[in-house]
């Protein structure tokens, strides 16, 4: 248990409604009465953001989240399989548990898994990933302006808007935060 005066953005709390990440924190002392702590909390499971007000010095339970690097092995009917690089233990997560991050995972990639009480609750992707273009239409001869784009399907099925010069088999770098093309990798 910790005091609400000691919490900071980025910490996680184990409340009766679930596990929450503190997005914003504000200590408020009205002219009359007791001090309050207003927090903007993000539910780890659902992603919903709520506002909650606590009394100053109110005890809350801190959730200790372990972030460990895991290697993505493969996907099958049971889900996506990851291996801990230190203990070599494997964990399978369903497509629902992984969410949109599955579109950015190629076999052999290393990601961070957030674990709480032995259960995976989130995936921390790197800022960008390299992917191979599986299918895209050829660019039209003479139409090489830098402003033109076309859709390209990557090896994982993710569709990204790429410049006209990108061809099948090229490796590209994709921003995992926005899902946009960054550059072609040689």
* CA–CA distances in Å: residue 76 to residues 59, 73, 80, 81, 180: 44, 10, 7, 8, 27
Same domain, yes or no: 110 and 153: no
Q: How many domains does the chain have?
A: 3
Same domain, yes or no: 71 and 115: yes
CA 171 to chain centre: 22
* CA–CA distances in Å: residue 163 to residues 99, 143, 168: 27, 11, 12
The CATH number linked to 39 is 2.30.30.30
Structural domain harbouring 135: 128-185
Same domain, yes or no: 119 and 72: yes
- Judge whether residue 179 has pLDDT over 80: yes
Mean pLDDT of 3-22: 85
Residue 118 burial (CB count, 10 A): 7
Same domain, yes or no: 112 and 162: no
Handedness of CA 14, 18, 21, 23 (dihedral sign): negative
Same domain, yes or no: 53 and 87: no
Same domain, yes or no: 120 and 162: no
Query: What digits encode the pLDDT tens for the residues 99-127?
Result: 788 888 888 888 888 888 878 877 888 88
Query: What confidence category does residue 143 fall into, taking pLDDT thresholds of 50, 70 and 90?
Result: low
Query: What digits encode the pLDDT tens for the residues 36-91?
Result: 889 998 888 777 889 988 888 888 888 888 888 899 999 888 888 999 888 888 88
The CATH number linked to 153 is 2.40.50.140
Same domain, yes or no: 107 and 143: no
Point out the domain boundary residue: 60, 75, 94.
Answer: 60
Same domain, yes or no: 80 and 119: yes
């Amino acid at each position: 248990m910790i005091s609400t005066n000691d919490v900071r953005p980025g910490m996680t709390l184990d409340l009766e409604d679930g596990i929450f990440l503190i997005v914003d924190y504000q200590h408020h002392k009205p002219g009359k009465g007791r001090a309050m702590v207003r927090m903007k909390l993000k539910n780890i499971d659902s992603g919903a953001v709520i506002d909650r007000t606590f009394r100053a010095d109110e005890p809350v339970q801190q959730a200790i989240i372990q972030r460990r690097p895991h290697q993505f092995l493969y996907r099958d009917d049971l889900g996506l399989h990851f291996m801990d690089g230190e203990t070599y233990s494997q964990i399978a997560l369903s497509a629902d548990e992984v969410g949109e991050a599955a579109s950015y995972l190629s076999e052999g990639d290393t990601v961070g898994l957030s674990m709480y009480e032995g259960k995976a609750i989130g995936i921390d992707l790197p800022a960008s990933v390299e992917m191979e273009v599986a299918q895209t239409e050829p660019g039209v001869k003479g139409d090489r302006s830098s402003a033109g784009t076309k859709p390209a399907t990557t090896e994982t099925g993710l569709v990204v808007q790429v410049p006209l010069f990108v061809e099948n088999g090229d490796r590209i770098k994709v921003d995992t935060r926005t899902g946009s093309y960054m550059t072609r990798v040689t």
